[in-house]
Amino acid sequence: MSRIVTFGEIMARLAAPGFKRFQQAMPGSLDVTFAGAEASIAASIAYLGGSAAFVTALPNHALADACVADLKSLGVDTRHIVRTDRGRLGLYFLETGANQRPGNVIYDREGSAAAVTPGGDYDWPVIFEGAEWFVISGITPAISRNAAEVSLTAVKEASARGVKVACDMNYRGKLWQWDPPIQPRDLATRTMRGLMPFVDLFIGGREDAAEMLGIPDAGASPDALVTTARQITSQFPRIQRVAMTRREGISATHNNFGGMLYDAAADSACFAPMKSGAPSFYGITDIVDRLGAGDAFTAALLFALTTPELGEQEATVSFATAAGCLAHSIEGDFNYVTRDEIESLMRGDASGRVKR
């Protein structure tokens, strides 16, 4: 079984219940779970039956103990999580949108353990032993100058050991604030372009390519996405595959969702889902929770790439896109969806009927 290592920050997610606004929910109770892009990817891979290790830094206290226990319960390898007396547990607060009202995220991550722990505190040779893939996102280098430096160290260490690197871009304009007066987009572009020469698999949306790499947005059509993928692989020739999510936002609770996988060597792209031989979408008319859907897509993509019967290009993108679709039905950032459920949707069973 292929070993996949992910690295980033995990936080406590505090969500207003249901569709309440913060002012309605507080004073009162918030729903607490754990979340973070790379942690979500590791959790989803493990839930699918894959081998996933998550690397981060967490403080030495009971809340972080609960976080580690949650990951372990899903089968994630937590042996390489650094416990430290420096920093804190990061937080983010979520107000879920509905209909034409968008959702809202408030970050409280400054000074977190992952933001301040230096790269020398991680035992990279041991972490990467036996690993096939290393996964990082564009969120981790956004949280602090130190985290950006550690991210660069991590991809270099992985590359030096023959471990393939996947980068899920995930542009978060609210986070790129650590080098004022440089604007968030400019800081993101400068930082991420420094990481790209070590990346084998690019994952993101067309907006991420524009915001993070400065690549002009060619548009949302299938042909335009292929054009964007070619631009990415032309500028960064180490990148062998480009995976992109496709999303049409009708409202906060109604999206159309699809995916694309481009192979640079073959100069070919596959889309999912397909209808009458043309790229189509899954219509998601009652979103339970949108956050984590991109992470679910990434996790399933890597699971498929390391699973022989799912490794063919069309099957890989179909599996990843179906997983991302189903993640919209799961509350919380982690995707508690099984391989059987994903493959059922791939075969066209979108009825949602009760299994008896």
| Cα distances (Å, whole numbers) of residue 100 to 181, 188, 232, 253, 325 | 34, 29, 33, 8, 20
Q: DSSP label at 271?
A: E
- pLDDT, residue 354, reads 65
Is residue 181 reached through a cis peptide bond, with omega within 30 degrees of 0 on the bond before it?
yes
- pLDDT, residue 355, reads 74
Q: Which residues contact 235 (CB under 8 A, 6 or more apart)?
A: 196, 213, 215
Structure-block tokens of residue 218: 């060619």
Q: What is the pLDDT of residues 200-225, one digit of tens each?
A: 999 998 999 999 998 999 999 999 99
d(CA 174, CA 63): 25
Domain ranges within the chain, ordered by starting residue = 3-346
Strands annotated E in the chain: 3-7, 11-15, 31-35, 51-55, 57-59, 82-84, 90-95, 104-108, 131-137, 164-168, 201-204, 241-251, 254-263, 268-272, 274-275, 278-279, 282-284
Cβ pair 253, 283 in contact under 8 A: no
Cross-strand partners of 11: 35, 90
Q: Is the pTM of this model over 0.85?
A: yes
d(CA 14, CA 100): 22
d(CA 263, CA 109): 36
Amino acid type, 272: A
Q: What is the pLDDT of residues 3-28, one digit of tens each?
A: 999 999 999 999 999 999 999 999 99
- Tokens 């408030």 -> residue: 106
Homologous superfamily in CATH for domain 3-346: Ribokinase (3.40.1190.20)
Q: In order along the chain (356 residues), what is the average pLDDT of each group of 10 residues? A: 96 97 97 98 98 98 98 98 98 97 97 98 98 98 98 98 97 95 96 97 93 91 97 97 97 97 98 97 96 97 98 98 98 97 92 70
Spacing of C-alpha 189 from chain mean position: 18
Structure-block tokens of residue 95: 């107000």
Question: 255 by DSSP, 3-state: which?
Answer: strand
